[in-house]
Amino acid sequence: MAISPIAMAARPPVPWAPLVIAEDRCKGCELCVSACPKDVLALDRSRVNVLGYHPVELIEAGSCTSCAFCARVCPDAVFTVWAAPRGLVREERTR
């Protein structure tokens, strides 16, 4: 069985994001917004989720340090926090 050429094709890199937010579970309590030391979270007042609340959004991913303060205070566990890839961390240190 051979590997198809489509499977071997170079895939574009997936953009890294420090947070994955389960917006459908967010109640818009803003505890995470006030806990964020870098002020990179805000409520998205232009949308309403299935629960009828304005969900939180990451407004500046490049400034997020993956400190997880948002995840610690969130009563609904809407955050998944990812550490920066090693190459990205090295780039930030050299700047």
Q: What is the pLDDT of residues 57-88, one digit of tens each?
A: 999 988 999 999 999 999 999 999 998 777 76
| Within-domain flag for 48 | yes
| Within-domain flag for 24 | yes
Give me the domain span that covers residue 46.
16-94
Strands 19-21 and 79-81: antiparallel
CB within 8 Å of 87: residues ≥ 6 apart: none
Enter the pTM of the model: 0.74
CB within 8 Å of 84: residues ≥ 6 apart: 16, 18, 66, 92
| Within-domain flag for 36 | yes
Q: What is the CATH number of the domain that holds 33?
A: 3.30.70.20
Q: How confident is the model at residue 93 (pLDDT cuts 50, 70, 90)?
A: very low
Structural domains counted in the chain: 1
| Within-domain flag for 10 | no
| Within-domain flag for 8 | no
Round the average pLDDT of the chain to a whole number and report it: 85
Are 24 and 47 in contact by the 8 Å Cβ rule? The answer is no
